[in-house]
């Protein structure tokens, strides 16, 4: 697996994780809402590719290992309120902060290796 491909897949996983976190925060006051979560990154990498449905012979199919499923699961929240809602805003904000930090690391690594490749081509 190539470094840029791995960084791209990690960013895709992080964007899904961020979307789930945003949905949890948006529904923090919704009665009966159960917090959602995203599976681990290693499970995402090991999962089978998503099969796309071709409803027309003109549809193009991606390479077999390009699309991967990002599964959602019931997130383990800290507590449940009297309305049955188990979203902890503090926990979700910590997850959002972690996502931001990991996205910055991925972008920094990709930027550094891109500069290294450019420097090797110039030489």
**Tens of pLDDT, residues 59-97:** 666 555 555 555 555 555 455 555 778 888 999 999 999
17-29 CB burial, b ≥16 within 10 A, e <16: bbebbeebeebee
Please say whether the beta carbons of 13 and 106 come within 8 A: no
**Tens of pLDDT, residues 90-107:** 999 999 999 999 999 999
Q: How far apart are CA 48 and CA 1, in angstroms?
A: 16
Mean pLDDT of 7-31: 92
Q: What separation in angstroms does the CA of 47 have from each of 1, 40, 121? A: 15, 11, 36
Q: For the chain, which residues make up each domain, given as ranges?
A: 3-28+36-52+61-78+86-122
- Per-residue tokens: 103: 């996205």
Choose among 12, 10, 15: nearest CA to 96.
15
């Amino acid at each position: 697996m190539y470094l840029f491909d791995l960084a791209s897949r990690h960013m895709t996983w992080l964007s899904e994780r961020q979307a789930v976190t945003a949905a949890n925060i948006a529904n923090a006051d919704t009665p009966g809402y159960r917090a959602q979560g995203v599976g681990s990154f290693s499970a995402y990498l090991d999962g089978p590719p998503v099969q796309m449905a071709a409803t027309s012979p003109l549809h193009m199919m991606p390479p077999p290992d390009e699309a991967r499923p990002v599964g959602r699961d019931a997130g383990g929240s800290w507590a449940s309120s009297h309305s049955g809602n188990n979203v902890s805003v503090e926990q979700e904000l910590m997850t959002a902060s972690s996502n931001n930090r990991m996205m910055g690391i991925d972008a920094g690594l990709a930027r550094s290796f891109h500069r290294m490749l450019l420097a090797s081509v110039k030489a």
